Amino acid sequence: MSFLVRENPAKHRFEILVDDALAAFTAYIPRGEVLVFTHTEVEQRFRDMGVGSALIRGTLDQIRERGVRVVPQCPFMAAFIDRHPEYADLVLAVA
């Protein structure tokens, strides 16, 4: 199985393709140099295969390369970052 994480700026989301099929996406609202992530959805047939985690990891790696920050309002992304503290520096603290 091959994974590809790519941004779809027209839809304001990052997507993961599994063998060229859309398997999941994580949606965001752009706020300048910050992306507010609001929702992650994994297609039913790709659940429990690690696709969601691969999507979030690939998304955060691309965000790190771009030098922007995230606000993880999406519970799935927030939980992933809690479990992977190496991404905590990407989170913009909201007071």
What's 48's domain CATH number?
3.40.630.30
**DSSP reduced 3-state for 57:** helix
Residue 32, token pair as written in the block: 């300048």
Number of domains comprising the chain: 1
Per-chain mean pLDDT for the chain: 94
Statement: residue 95 has pLDDT above 60: no
pLDDT, residue 52, reads 96
pLDDT, residue 45, reads 94
Average pLDDT over residues 8-29: 96
Per-residue pLDDT tens for 48-92? Answer: 999 999 999 999 999 999 999 999 999 999 999 999 999 999 999
pLDDT, residue 19, reads 87
Any domain includes 29: yes
Any domain includes 95: no
pTM comes to: 0.94
Domain that holds residue 56: 3-90
Cβ distance 4 to 61 under 8 Å?
A: no
Percent of the chain having pLDDT more than 70?
Answer: 97
d(CA 48, CA 46): 7
Any domain includes 61: yes
Q: What are phi and psi of 84, to 5 degrees?
A: -130, 80
The two beta strands, 21-31 and 69-72, are unpaired
Residue 9, token pair as written in the block: 């700026």
Distances (CA, A) of 82 to 3, 18, 28, 87, 94: 23, 25, 19, 9, 16
